[in-house]
Structure 1
Amino acid sequence: MKSTKFLATALAASLALMMAGCAGGAAADTGTGDGSSSAATDDGSGGKVQGITDTEVLIANSAATSGAYAPVGVPFIAGIQGYLDMVNKDGGVDGRTITFLHTDDEFDPAKGAAALTKFIEDDKVFAIVGHFGTPVVAATVDTLKESGIPSVYFATGIGQLYAEDATTDAEGANLFPVQPLYRTEGGIMAAYAAGKFGATKIGIIYTNDDAGSDLEKGAVSQITSMDGVDYVEEQVAAGAADVSAAVTSIKNADVDFVIIAAIQGTMPTIVKELAAQGVGKDAITSYVNVSSAMSDAVSADIQGKFDLYGPGWVDYSTDTAQASLADFQANVDSQYANNVYAQTGWIAASFFVEGLKRLEGKEVTWDSYKAAMEEAPIQNPFGGTIDYSNGQRKGTQQMSLSKVVPVSDANPVGWEPVEPLQSIDALLGK
């Protein structure tokens, strides 16, 4: 088995494509509604329910399983199905097996929106599990909120999924993100800057796209909540070839640490300019950039000048993760036994099933399911826990830390783990 450190960093690196979503050969639908699921009804107390009978729970998603994103989408779907197969072999949950419908949306927002409408209105599924890709999620998130359907796991980090206190579906109370959201990640990066590196003046360079802006918002929110910590910031255009003015401004501000709130297209340009101007301060960037391509692009420039760090959201070193990895490899299609995208699908299905398990012996409605998801933190099979209580919809709330090292045969990813999964409170000693 590959080393746990390498696997953790490799998963973070491979997920860069899903998060950027510029961000997935089977392709066709794996199922269609057979009329066995109940039509949308009310349980008498306002708790809407559909897609569930005494013997079945019906769930669905659309994802790109053909075209350029098939290498991501196909194993992602296989991971979801593998987890459900494992659960169904053991009799399902509370006597109900879980049926999973899937449609290939080709990463097309219009096709994804059409598939979602069909799932909700025609197939009448109970939940959407593993909503896939930034363009599709962005085009359909309002529909999800309006419908009120429980929606678990999104293969993107867009800000529309983030909420600190979602008390109604209109605010996203029916959405349960798992992957890191950019705003949450920005806050964690700021907590690492202050808690691990002792920074009291943080420089932020962010791009003017959604990813950069959300990372910046999260970082600024966290910084302003910490006593004795200040910041200066500069915005650059996404994809800019010249960021020298922004870097000069940050350099002249004499910061202790730099947050690079930018994804793949712009991050290397910023890092190279920091090195060229001799800024000499350690920096951190989004986990979307934790890939061999990114480390290879900047490692020679920063050697002997400063370290570049990036967060991650998995940890294979725990007993829980090792047991989960064994289950995964025993139940997923063998061709995906070491595929990190399949592992994310496994994570998505595990979070959905946990909500069902909490309702064993109880009435299952959309409202009761949402309450069950909120009642206690949920364990990521390959990582930390996520707390949805009190309307928190922040995605992953614990992240590890790696730093750039030269790509080599011994370390083909080019990132070396240096800190385990930690929450903002843990980083700040709370």
Structure 2
Amino acid sequence: MKKLVLLLVAVFSLFGLIACVDNTEDEKTLDSIVITAEPTKVEYNLGEELDLTGLAVKAVYSDETEVELAVADLTVTGFDNTTASEQTITVTYQRMNATFTVNVFDPDAERVLRSISVKSLPTTQQYAVGESFDDTGLVIEALYENGDREEVTEYTLTGFTSEAVKLDGVITVTFEEETTTFTYKVREIIVQGVTDTTITVGNTAATSGYFAAVGIPFNAGIEAYFFKVNEAGGINGRTLEFITYDDGFDATAGLNYTKQLVEEDNVFALVGHFGTPTVGATLGYIQETGVPMVYAATGINSLYFEKEDGLSNPVMAVQPIYKTDGRIMTTRALNESLFGANGDAQLPSDAKVGVLHTTTDDGMSIKAGIEVQAATEGREDDFIYRSFSAADTAALAAAILDLQTEGVQAVIVASNQAPFKAAVGALDSAGLTVPVFTSYVNADATSVDPTIDYGFPMFANAWLDIVDPEGTNGLSDAYWTFATDMTAAGYGDYAANAFAMAGYIAASIFVEGLNRVDDGLLTWETYIDAMESAEINVPMGGVVDFTEGKRWGIASMALLQLDNSGDLPAWAKVRNIETIQDIQAK
């Protein structure tokens, strides 16, 4: 058996219809500076000097590049060690400001209240309409002028109401003359789909038509994992029930079926939310209702969320966001030793890199990551972008001719499977011989033509790694567990299918959250809190981290190379799972 790396594949997006040349170049400007870590010391006594140890600040530019700034390059103002007070410290870099707060105390001062803060938020921060406020877990801390701190209980709370849905509620805490606030949400529903014996979940997926080759094995992977759990007795005696609808890879149908799942079938969660059209059309609805969504079978950039302080975000994507995908493939192209006659040299520092991208969400999302990383590495002027459509072969040929004329020494194809197959076929027909890099969504046998002996090396990202030279037939124990579970559930035909792996992983990560809640009260909020409590190991892969509200997807990937010399195309691992920083350090 060949030693393969089977990549978890995202679903296709719709094709762009027009190929054009993108020569727009905007001047790079500084947009903002952001404090990513405050100084270790933020409390002082009178007379002590400001200590900036631990301070980390980054500059964010108009092209979305980010640069870590040295403290020596910053101007810091606002600190006064002669006055006992709460002080706002301003950090300035090229006229851009950011702030943090320090406290200066007089140890000999009277014990006078300075401020209060929320030391611990209430256990419950989301409520059903009509539900009463529960302050269990709420801890308020008072800070005094002499530096003393103490927990207080004689405070008052105002601002809570649950008469109607409210997604931006604010509660004010008052103690003596000082106030602070925290937030809450009121939803129509805070849990559903859970009985003493069952937990019902669902998804919509394309299981007919062209995309059935993706949707059917994807759902088979979900069902196989649930079968395994149910055969073992379920989760605390509850078996998992799975409802799925065929949305035909259509956004409108996907939205309607998602609403049916939530409002009529009363599912507890959406597991394996499928495809760019449906995911893009339903994110707002999911955020509004609060129903947990675990794993999105796409990597569109709208799945990326910063932390929503104090409130649970129900959207929990897993596979890499396309922007991250684009950044990593660009980092590989610029830093790996994959070039030259022997494939062991780095790309010259002045080499041109061509980028062929579709104009659909997936292509533009990947392109955004390429642009960011090229600029981050100071190579933005070396990248040449051309858009294409698989449907317009003449325009695709013209775009490739442009890249050849420019003398590119590497090509990145930013698209999903069908456009990618068209692009690499056209690159081969044009006689291109330079290395080609592409997204993790294309590292599957179906994404290339097995009848073509491509005249260039082809590389793809991969966020799963099932290769183990010491394992059975060169594959890892995690893979064989997957294959065994697929066979036991009656889906043995999909035991080597990348799409089935995707569904299996979606189900396993969902179940991990249930296991963490264990025999506690299962609600949407407690489930999401459990998912955020620690990193989650991904079967056949690395980890996904939802802690502290992160919604970034997996941010480390392996590198595969196409082997098209056998009966079927195969993608073999040539680099292990690594972060951007790991790759840049080579």
2:516 to 358, 364, 373: 358
Counterpart of 2:478, as a letter, is A
Q: Distance in 2 between matches of 1:126 and 1:145?
A: 14
Segments of 5+ residues of structure 2 without an aligned counterpart are: 16-126, 135-183, 338-345, 469-475
Matches within 5 A, 1:224-303: 224-226=375-377, 231-239=382-390, 240-241=392-393, 242-243=395-396, 246-247=399-400, 250=403, 257-267=410-420, 270-271=423-424, 280-292=433-445, 294-296=447-449, 300-302=453-455
Q: Distance in 2 between matches of 1:122 and 1:273?
A: 48
Partner of 1:424: 580
Partner of 2:222: 80
Counterpart of 1:282, as a letter, is P
Counterpart of 1:216, as a letter, is K
Q: Distance in 1 between matches of 2:310 and 2:256?
A: 21
2:317 to 177, 195, 204: 177
The answer as to whether partners of 2:486 and 2:492 remain within 8 angstroms in 1 is: no
The Cα of 1:128 is off from its aligned counterpart by 0.6
Q: Distance in 2 between matches of 1:263 and 1:148?
A: 30
1:348 to 495, 506, 509: 506
Q: Distance in 1 between matches of 2:541 and 2:274?
A: 20
Is 2:357 aligned against 1:206? yes
Counterpart of 1:374, as a letter, is E
Q: Distance in 1 between matches of 2:270 and 2:422?
A: 38
Q: Distance in 2 between matches of 1:397 and 1:292?
A: 24
Deviations 1:319-368 (A, max 9, x none): 55145325524532144452523332211110101111122243332223
Aligned to 1:113, the other structure's residue is in SS state: helix
Deviations 1:140-165 (A, max 9, x none): 222112212110112223333233x1
Deviations 1:119-146 (A, max 9, x none): 2223322111112233322322221122
The Cα of 1:80 is off from its aligned counterpart by 1.5
The answer as to whether partners of 1:78 and 1:333 remain within 8 angstroms in 2 is: no
Partner of 1:376: 534
The Cα of 1:286 is off from its aligned counterpart by 2.0
Q: Distance in 2 between matches of 1:257 and 1:80?
A: 38
Q: Distance in 2 between matches of 1:397 and 1:173?
A: 19
Q: Distance in 1 between matches of 2:132 and 2:512?
A: 22
Q: Distance in 2 between matches of 1:321 and 1:385?
A: 14
Q: Distance in 1 between matches of 2:206 and 2:405?
A: 46
The answer as to whether partners of 1:312 and 1:400 remain within 8 angstroms in 2 is: yes
Residues 56/286 of structure 1: CA separation in 2 closer, same or farther (3 Å cut): same
Partner of 2:490: 333
What TM-score comes out, normalization by structure 1 length? Answer: 0.79
Partner of 2:297: 155
Partner of 2:459: 309
Is 2:215 aligned against 1:65? no
Q: Relative CO higher for 1 or 2, CA cutoff 8 Å, sep ≥ 6?
A: 1
Deviations 1:266-297 (A, max 9, x none): 44565466667777542201233334455437
Q: Distance in 2 between matches of 1:128 and 1:258?
A: 37
For these two proteins, the number of residue pairs brought into alignment is 400
Q: Distance in 2 between matches of 1:394 and 1:140?
A: 18
Partner of 1:28: none
The answer as to whether partners of 2:421 and 2:449 remain within 8 angstroms in 1 is: no
Q: Distance in 2 between matches of 1:293 and 1:74?
A: 15
The answer as to whether partners of 1:61 and 1:130 remain within 8 angstroms in 2 is: yes
Q: Distance in 1 between matches of 2:286 and 2:526?
A: 17
Aligned to 1:315, the other structure's residue is in SS state: coil
The answer as to whether partners of 2:356 and 2:388 remain within 8 angstroms in 1 is: no
The answer as to whether partners of 1:295 and 1:414 remain within 8 angstroms in 2 is: no
The answer as to whether partners of 1:376 and 1:389 remain within 8 angstroms in 2 is: yes
1:19 to 2, 11, 16: 11
Deviations 1:169-223 (A, max 9, x none): 99x9321222343222111101212332444454433232222211111122233
Q: Distance in 2 between matches of 1:364 and 1:43?
A: 19
Partner of 1:193: 333
Partner of 2:555: 397
Aligned to 1:193, the other structure's residue is in SS state: helix
Q: Distance in 1 between matches of 2:425 and 2:275?
A: 30
Aligned to 2:278, the other structure's residue is in SS state: helix
Q: Distance in 2 between matches of 1:229 and 1:68?
A: 37
- Normalized per residue, which structure has more helix? 1
Q: Distance in 2 between matches of 1:296 and 1:78?
A: 26
Deviations 1:16-74 (A, max 9, x none): xx521549xxxxxxxxxxxxxxx967695558222224443221222233444444333
- Normalized per residue, which structure has more strand? 2
Residues 230/389 of structure 1: CA separation in 2 closer, same or farther (3 Å cut): farther
Aligned to 2:585, the other structure's residue is in SS state: coil
Residues 421/129 of structure 1: CA separation in 2 closer, same or farther (3 Å cut): same
Q: Distance in 1 between matches of 2:522 and 2:335?
A: 42
Segments of 5+ residues of structure 1 without an aligned counterpart are: 24-38
Moved more, 315-324 or 232-241: 315-324
The Cα of 1:374 is off from its aligned counterpart by 2.4
The answer as to whether partners of 1:64 and 1:70 remain within 8 angstroms in 2 is: yes
Is 2:279 aligned against 1:137? yes
Answer with 1 or 2: which has the greater Rg.
2
Aligned to 2:517, the other structure's residue is in SS state: coil
Q: Distance in 2 between matches of 1:140 and 1:353?
A: 22
Partner of 2:96: none
Aligned to 1:296, the other structure's residue is in SS state: coil
The answer as to whether partners of 1:299 and 1:404 remain within 8 angstroms in 2 is: no
Counterpart of 1:179, as a letter, is Q
Residues 76/209 of structure 1: CA separation in 2 closer, same or farther (3 Å cut): closer
The answer as to whether partners of 2:487 and 2:495 remain within 8 angstroms in 1 is: no
Residues 265/64 of structure 1: CA separation in 2 closer, same or farther (3 Å cut): closer
Counterpart of 1:331, as a letter, is A
Q: Distance in 1 between matches of 2:423 and 2:243?
A: 43
RMSD: 3.5
Q: Distance in 2 between matches of 1:60 and 1:143?
A: 16
